[in-house]
Amino acid sequence: MSRVLVLNGPNLRRLGTREPEIYGATTFADLEALCRETGQRLGLAVEVRQTDDEAQLVRWVHEAADERTPIVLNPAAFTHYSYALHDALAQRTAPLVEVHISNPAAREEFRHTSVVASVATGTVAGFGTMSYVLALQAVAEILAEQERAGA
């Protein structure tokens, strides 16, 4: 069973109370359960983490790179300005799917730029917490394709 890290940036632990008109009523605990259940169905060992600390997020990305672990990443506000996160992600050794609950392109102009997108395998955004399900499905498909190709 392939291990996948689902990493979440600042304020995501506040899901369910933070701007429910944008992020919905789903709590972070609900999101964790959704990711684990989706992973189990897809044959992935999913570990969900959240931090408000940019340095911690960078350390987790380094860990994933060293262990060749795929990442599903919601960088949250770090999406738009964290070149430290960009540089850490550029060292990735496995698939990386950027994920967002809302659609950043449909929000304030400062949210339209992602410094993560250029180093990600792909991005899923705007589908609520279903974005995580779609991202995990993408990781599972990429890993299966790599396995078939003998990578």
Binding-site members are: 74, 80, 87, 101-102, 111
At 149, list the tokens: 């190709």
Query: Is 112 one of the annotated active-site residues of the chain?
Result: no
Phi, psi torsion values for 68, nearest 5 degrees: 55, 40
In the set 23, 62, 86, 132, the catalytic residue is: 23
What are the angstrom distances between the C-alpha of 38 and each of 5, 104, 112?
13, 24, 29
Using alpha carbons, select from 123, 97, 81, 100 the residue that is nearest to residue 22: 100
The strand pairing partners of 70, in sequence order, are none
Q: Residues annotated as binding site for substrate?
A: 74, 80, 87, 101-102, 111
- Among this protein's residues, is 132 annotated catalytic? no
CA atoms of 136 and 47, how far apart (whole Å): 12
Question: From the candidates 83, 100, 112, 132, which is the catalytic residue?
Answer: 100
Could you tell me if 76 and 9 are in contact, meaning their C-beta atoms sit under 8 angstroms apart?
A: yes
- What's the token pair of residue 23? 């992020």
Active-site residue list: 23, 100
